[in-house]
Structure 1
């Protein structure tokens, strides 16, 4: 017998022993104790997926497909028994995600996607919450991402979101790049440009500057950063669960850890003002004199008014370009 007061309590060590998680569950989930007393979560499948999807690789977990006499399975095995409490939380989260699937294939996709979420969290969790300025910037980028998702779809929009990975521009589309700036609505009408590359022309692409007002407010007004993130996560879970892996990777790269408490900050955000960075736009751009680097300067938005454009103008071009790519 093994592991009192856990889902694996009563299962025999030394051989693969299983117990169904819930007789009322839509899919065939099992608690399991594998050889060498390692505990696991098992999803029994009718068929292996084709093509075989990538699976997360974690130091203390093994995630694999296996074909047994009773049919194929996906299993998640814990290799470090000291992490049992966290592993149970992970398993229940994966089960909850998989149960949202309407078919076995979708349940498997959701389960793997949720496991990848844990993969990115455990790989890149941060020790401290993001500071206020970084929270503002991330909320601004998320709002622009939502607009792009509405226009071109989840996966193309996520692919275009390059800011968290450290790219010079926050969004890089086939024919356009967008640099996003978040500012306080009540502050002087300036935005901070960090580096000579942020507003540098990109060959064969239009460059846009998106400016949003992101203001801190008192409860019950506004939303926390976690609520902004959860809104997008829930949208993906409902509409395109396979996009969740990319979404979590971007959040991890941006330094966001969902385990941190962001309840002390609540924010409201405006729709973006969009400026075309074209000839005559006020900026310092590369090339700059040899030996000069790391420039930071303030850009007066009043000087940018001649370059202000409607989002619907940008949207029309974007959708047209995306439709052309899809044909």
Structure 2
């Protein structure tokens, strides 16, 4: 029996009991690194999965992540403090189950990891789900799919040079970074298009092309085409997962950032476009590059979004080694 089915059966039992208040719990199959119970909070009722990480202290309740559709709470059972991940009364049952299955997969993959390290990875993944819920919980738009494919294509360029840790830990786009990658002492913003008529780069803020914090700053343009010979968004994600498979920490980090990007495996069937990279172009964002930044504008202008037609700007084929050398990363 799948683990999630044990929880579903337990929740049905709780609902039939019609308890008045407090927690009802039932032990279920556990992992070697984490104890598990199915639970339900009354009144509500609110379904819950309850986790025990065998750590000395848990984060204070106010520091636990929570999101639309679920809550994270302390629960004391038999003198031990557990962490309950409970569905909100208005939460989506399908997404709640998908979240639990994702967390179970994390615990299984990190089977040799215990204690505080495991708890940190767990809470990071829960926090990623919090971000995902905030972004609407729907499948990615075509534009978002194109943007994510371009970022992952650049991330794979780094992996192909053997830069596994740098590829994952510098991918800051999903973490609301100013630019998509902060690597060495520089930054790289990735823009993608499937348009065959020019290349319009959408700039999300006045700071995105500012080099006041990270310098040098590069804009990488990924010109994509739709072709039967291409690969889909889920396919490039699986390729990256395969490359990271031997490093559980990096794989977990990647999965959390992917989730924060709005990607969920349960939506993968909707991402069936087959894309090829027709060109990878590099633009150095210097004093001659057309841009709007706080340093170039009247200080009364506080925010702006704008578009740049980069198709007529001088660019050269992407030379990743040159970029890495300029930002102080040696390979």
Q: Normalization by structure 2: what TM-score?
A: 0.69
Cα deviation for residue 85 of structure 1 reads: 5.4
Q: 1:152 to 1:27 in 2, by over 3 A?
A: closer
Task: Give the counterpart of 2:37 among 30, 50, 55.
Answer: 30
Q: Over residues 241-264 of structure 1, what are the superposed CA-to-partner deviations in whole Å (9 max), with x where a residue is unaligned?
A: 663586146414xxx565544343
Offset at residue 267 of structure 1 (A): 1.2
Work out which of the residue numbers 205, 210, 213 in structure 1 matches 2:215: 205
Distance 2:139 2:164 in 1: 34
Unaligned runs of 5+ in 1: none
Work out whether residues 33 and 107 of structure 2, in 8 Å CA contact, stay in contact via their aligned partners in 1: no
Query: Contact 1:42–1:73 at 8 Å: present in 2 too?
Result: yes
2:211–2:217 CA contact under 8 A, matched in 1 = yes
Superposed, 1:53-132 pairs within 5 Å as 54-80=63-89, 83-84=92-93, 86-101=95-110, 102-105=112-115, 106-125=117-136, 127=138, 129-131=140-142
Matches within 5 A, 1:215-254: 215-218=225-228, 221-229=229-237, 231-232=239-240, 235=244, 238-240=248-250, 243=253, 247-248=257-258, 250-252=260-262
Match of 2:3 in 1: none
Residue 74 of structure 1 and its aligned partner are, at CA, apart by: 1.4
Cα distance between partner residues in 2 of 1:301 and 1:151: 34
Secondary structure at the counterpart of residue 99 of structure 1: helix
Of structures 1 and 2, the larger Rg is shown by 1
Q: Is residue 316 of structure 1 aligned with residue 319 of structure 2?
A: no
Cα pair 1:135 1:225 within 8 Å, conserved: yes
Q: Secondary structure at the match of 2:270?
A: coil
- 2:4 maps to none
Distance 1:5 1:68 in 2: 20
For residues 204 and 166 of structure 1, the distance between their equivalents in structure 2, rounded to whole angstroms, comes to 12
| Structure 2 contact 70–86 (Cα < 8 Å) conserved | yes
Pair 1:265 & 2:273 matched: yes
Number of aligned residues: 305
Distance of 2:8 and 2:137 partners within structure 1: 31
> What is the DSSP-based 3-state SS (H/G/I as helix, E as strand, rest coil) of the residue aligned with 2:100?
helix
**Deviation at residue 157 of structure 1 after TM alignment:** 0.4
- On the 8 A contact 2:67/2:131 being kept in 1, the answer is no
- 5+ residue gaps, structure 2: 1-6, 299-303
Q: Which moved more, 1:263-272 or 1:295-304?
A: 295-304
Q: CA deviation at 1:7?
A: 3.1
Residue matched to 2:149: 139
8 Å CA contact 1:116, 1:245 repeated in 2: no
Q: Deviations over 1:122-181 (max 9, x none)?
A: 2222556412x443232112222344572653664033x37x8484x5445563232323
Q: Aligned-pair RMSD on alpha carbons? A: 4.5
